[in-house]
Structures are given as structure tokens and as C-alpha cells.
Structure 1
Amino acid sequence: MQFHQAQRKKAKLRLALTGPSGAGKTYGALVVAKGLGGKIAVIDTERGSASLYSDIVDFDVLELDPPYTPERFLEAMKAAEAAGYSTVILDSITHEWSGVGGCLEMNDALAKAKFKGNTWSAWNETTPRHRAFIDAILRSPMHVIATMRSKTETTQVEENGKKKVAKLGMKSEQRDGLEYEFTVVLDISHDGNIALASKDRTRLFADPVRLSAETGQLLLEWLESGKDPAQMMAEEVDMAIEAMRGCDNLGSLQGIFAGAWKRCDEVNKARLKAEYDQLKSALETKEQAA
């Protein structure tokens, strides 16, 4: 185990937009994608709703039909990656969870077919399939914007002697905890299409915002302001080589090399290995002479 200085890398966007039906999730996703720039792909499970906005944003669409299994979403994302899109919009990933053929239906079917109706046991097979879908979002070389339907939770409160309905917040129709996987989660309300951050690693959304192309530009600036990953890796290998050169025994040399090798990319492995082999040979010769 070896600690190294934390530095923020350049990254791709992982944005989730949640809200009730009609709040403007699709529109918001499209205008943010417009601000990010590049080619936009939309994987549409909402029966062509994205295409209603084709006059304000240029994009290509794949209208995904049931069953909404994780594998169907994975196949669509791979097609978007292969076609060279810069941003993919998943509208919406609620269907992967609770839609026709989604995880909930899939799990019930598995329980009946293989586990004598035991849905808890069936999750042992369903969860890895759902996890593969989430991992694909996290690993994608594209910016990913996902929309999720949500239900508004309300309660009755008394104010100035009068009873009124107050909103307690919104619960996304997806697996609990999914929001932790995204860089930013914005909840969109019916009231003026205003977005409020429920999670924000960028620290750009302290105040409510109306989504626009400028929002996408702002996010892109933040994403690009990190250090270049290739440069960071080269610098890390330089530090590892410098540390190896200071070793006076094989144990220390091998320990530093092993730690650096695990993190090293293919571009720098040859350089790291060549230096290690040379230093290892020199130390072996020194030990034999002693």
C-alpha cells in the first residue's frame, strides 16, 4: 500500500436529472448536452418524447422498445460508443429498473422459475446484471446524462391557521443508492423547470438553476479544468522511478515497483519495467559481490 498526492483529473460528465412526469427532464438533458458540445445520442424509452425537441438541439435517437433489461441498455450504449458520440442521454433509466422487462420484473420471473418464489434469492442473479449496467455508465468514454422519474412525497402542514400541502422531496424510481454513482444529481420541479442539486461534487450548484446550454458549458469547463490523466500517470511513473533509484535492497525495490505497476497504464509500463530490470540487475550484482 502506498499513498500519493490526490489530484483531480479531467473527467467525463455523469449527470442524473430526476423529476416527476412533465417536469422537463428530457428538455433539460438535451440543452445541457448542447452546451457540452459534440455529437449527441439519445437512447429514448419514452416513446419518442426526445424527438419533440429536435428543433432546438441536433441529436440522433435510438428508440428502445421493451424488454428494458440491463443488457439492452448496455447494447445501446456500446453502439453509441462505437459510433463516436460525445454525449449519450439515457432517457430514462427508470425503465431499466421498473419498466417492462426491467430488473423488478426480471427478478420476479427468476424467483418463480428458479427459486420457488423467493425473490431475495433471485437478487443474487439480478443484482450483478444491474451492476453491469451501472458500471457501463461509470466506464463510458462519453459524457452520460441519465433521467429518472420521481415521485413527489408530500405532507399536510398548518401555516397561519390554515392547512396546506408541503413537499417533502422527491424519491427517484430506481434502485436505492444509485445517486451516489453520479457526479451531479439535479432534482427538477414543475415550478418553472428549476433544478436543485441533491448531490453536487462540482460545487457549481449551490443555488437553484434553470437548465440551459450555459449549464452544459459551465460543467464542461469544470470537467476540463482537472489535470490530464496521461500527464498525471507519466509524473507518477517518474516519481516511482526516482524512488526505485534510491533503493539499496531488492525488497524495497520490488515493493515500489509492484505498487507502481498496479496503477500504471500500458503506455508507461515498458519504461517502468526497463528501469526496474536495470536497477534489479545492479542490486543483484552488488549483493553477490558482498
Structure 2
Amino acid sequence: MQLTKAERHQVKLRIGLSGASGFGKTYSALLLAFGITDDWNKIAVIDTENGSASLYSHLGDYNTLTLNEPFNPERYIEAIETCEKASVEVIIIDSISHEWNGKGGCLELHELLGGRFQDWAKISPRHQAFIDKILHSSCHIITTVRRKIDYALDSDLNGKSKVIKHGTKEITREGFEYELTTNFELINDKHLVKASKDRTGLFMDKPEFVINSNTGKKLIDWCSKGVSIDKIKEEILKCETIEALKALYAKYPSFQKMTHPMILERKEQLDGLSGHLITNEEVVEPNKILEDGNSSIE
């Protein structure tokens, strides 16, 4: 274990857009994505909404991937990986509601197993794998989620039961929005949004507004402020000793998987310059930062 100074490194955006049908989720997501990339060709839409993404093809030459039923978590994961391999920068998943409540989605899979509480032990890991894929993707990801009116059976002052409307609720597993960088809720058919969750501090407790490409630019500017992998690479090349490499590796724990091969390469260069082959054990002691030359970083 090692304490490090708190520092916000460059991150990949995880943005949510939720709203009722016809409130402009797909259109808003596309404008956000363009603001992030400034290049329509670097945007891919995973479309589960019967081709709705293609309705806005006049905006630019973005890519689409049609995902039909069954909407199980594994098919969503496969679709995300297909987009990643195409080297896009922003993936729009429109929508993730089908993964939870669609044909072949988690709720239906649970019912097919018997619908018992213990049956979630088989479904929850599959759903979590889908969430993990979103969180750990190499691309920026925008998810859209359908909302429905949430009702509850309450008692009035006379003790009589009655149905009460409690606003709207996202059609996905509860708690998803807490994983996001920012979550926007579309509140009407005029495309007005409010932020229900915002780690950036750019939109929380601000008046409702209409999303446009400038919204995406604000978000990419926010997440780009910090340490980039290019900056770390420059620092690695400037290291003149093994101790300096060891300290630099420990300095950026969230980048260790990416910097591991760079660290080893620079170590070999220093070995060659010194004319002395320094063992991996000499590099890692006493902090065990690097183990074997081809080891993985946990």
C-alpha cells in the first residue's frame, strides 16, 4: 500500500441521458458526441431503437450498429467491442434500457430461471459485466435510458390506500447513474435537461438548458485537464536512473498498465548506457513496483 497525492488525471467520459419517448435523447446524444470529438466519423451509435439513430443522418457521417433482440448483456458487450475495434472515440448506446427490460434482457432472463430471489445470483454477474464494460471502455461512452412514470400505493390521512405518482424512474437497474461522470434528465419535449448527477461541477444546480455541441466541448475540456499519457511518456524518457523510474511508476497508479512497457523499455535503455545489466529485482526493491520483465500490473 502506498499513499499518493490526489490528482485528477485525464479520464474517459461516461455520460447518461434519460427521458421519456420523444424528449430528444438520441438527438441530444449525437450533439454531445460531436462536441466531444469534432468529427462525425469518430462517433458510433449502438441502436436498439428500431433504426432511430439513422433519422439524424443529415447531421453528419457517424457510424451505426443495429442491435436487435435478444438484448442480453453479452450482446451489448460484443457491440461495444466492435465499436472499439473500429477506433471510434465516442460510443452512444441508444438505449441501455433493453439490456434490463427488453426481450432477452436481464428481467426476462431472471423470469426464465424461475423468478426467485436466489436466481439473481446467475443474472447479476452478467449485468455487472455489461456495466464494467461501459466503465472500462477505451472510448467515451454516452448511454440513453428510457424513463417511465413511477407509481406507489400509499395511504391518505384517513388510512385509505390510493395510487400516488412519484415522478419518473429510469428503466435500468437502480444505481446506474452513480457510476456516471454526468447524468442528464430530459424533462420535457422541448429538449430541456437538468443534471441529476454531475462530478464535473459544470451543470449541477444550474437552470435547465438545451444540450448542444458546446455542452460536449465543455465536458471534453474538463476531462482533458490533468495528466495525459503523452506527458507521462515524456517524463519516463527524461528519467536517468532506475530509482527515478521506480518513483515515476508509483506516482501514476491509474496509468500503470499503460506505462509498464514504457518503463521496461526505458530501463533497458539505461542498462545499455551504463553497460551494466540491472536485474528486475534491483528495480523493484524495496517497493515491489515491477516484478518480472513481462509481468502484468494489477
What is the TM-score with the length of structure 2 in the denominator?
0.75
CA offset at residue 230 of structure 1?
Answer: 5.5
Give 1:17-36 correspondences, 5 Å limit: 17-36=17-36
The answer on whether the counterparts of 2:245 and 2:263 sit within 8 Å (CA) in structure 1 is: no
CA distance in 1, matches of 2:70, 2:133: 19
Call closer, same or farther: CA 1:241–1:47 in 2, change over 3 Å. Answer: same
Give 1:236-251 correspondences, 5 Å limit: 241=243
Call closer, same or farther: CA 1:228–1:243 in 2, change over 3 Å. Answer: closer
1:253: which partner in 2? none
CA distance in 1, matches of 2:142, 2:124: 22
1:71: which partner in 2? 74
2:134: which partner in 1? 137
Give the alignment partner of residue 61 of structure 1, picking from 59, 64, 82. Answer: 64
Call closer, same or farther: CA 1:183–1:272 in 2, change over 3 Å. Answer: farther
CA distance in 2, matches of 1:280, 1:89: 42
1:266: which partner in 2? 260
CA offset at residue 192 of structure 1?
Answer: 2.0
Q: Structure 1 unaligned runs (5+)?
A: 112-116, 156-165, 246-255, 282-290
CA distance in 1, matches of 2:280, 2:67: 51
The answer to whether structure 1 residue 177 and structure 2 residue 180 are counterparts is no
Q: CA RMSD of the aligned region, Å? A: 3.2
Give 1:77-88 correspondences, 5 Å limit: 77-88=80-91
The structure whose Rg is larger is: 1
The answer on whether the counterparts of 1:34 and 1:57 sit within 8 Å (CA) in structure 2 is: no
The answer on whether the counterparts of 2:26 and 2:53 sit within 8 Å (CA) in structure 1 is: yes
The answer on whether the counterparts of 2:22 and 2:189 sit within 8 Å (CA) in structure 1 is: no
The answer on whether the counterparts of 1:31 and 1:57 sit within 8 Å (CA) in structure 2 is: no
CA distance in 1, matches of 2:23, 2:179: 23
Q: Structure 2 unaligned runs (5+)?
A: 153-163, 269-277, 286-298
Deviations 1:129-159 (A, max 9, x none): 111111111111111000000124489xxxx
Q: Which runs of 4+ in 1 moved over 2 A?
A: 152-155, 166-170, 229-236, 238-245, 262-265, 267-281
CA distance in 2, matches of 1:227, 1:244: 18
2:118: which partner in 1? 121
Match of 2:128, SS?
helix
Deviations 1:70-99 (A, max 9, x none): 011111111111111111110000000000
Call closer, same or farther: CA 1:43–1:243 in 2, change over 3 Å. Answer: closer
Deviations 1:103-151 (A, max 9, x none): 0101111x2xxxxx35222211111111111111111111100000012
Percent of aligned pairs with the same amino acid: 40
Deviations 1:220-262 (A, max 9, x none): 11111121145458869x79935989xxxxxxxxxx99x98x9
Give 1:1-290 correspondences, 5 Å limit: 1-37=1-37, 38=39, 39-109=42-112, 111=113, 117=114, 119-153=116-150, 169-206=167-204, 207=206, 208-229=208-229, 231-232=231-232, 241=243, 263=256, 265-270=259-264, 274=278, 277-278=281-282
CA distance in 1, matches of 2:165, 2:115: 36
CA offset at residue 57 of structure 1?
Answer: 3.4
CA distance in 2, matches of 1:224, 1:128: 32
Call closer, same or farther: CA 1:153–1:230 in 2, change over 3 Å. Answer: same
Count residues with an aligned counterpart. 253
The answer on whether the counterparts of 1:30 and 1:57 sit within 8 Å (CA) in structure 2 is: no
Call closer, same or farther: CA 1:25–1:243 in 2, change over 3 Å. Answer: closer
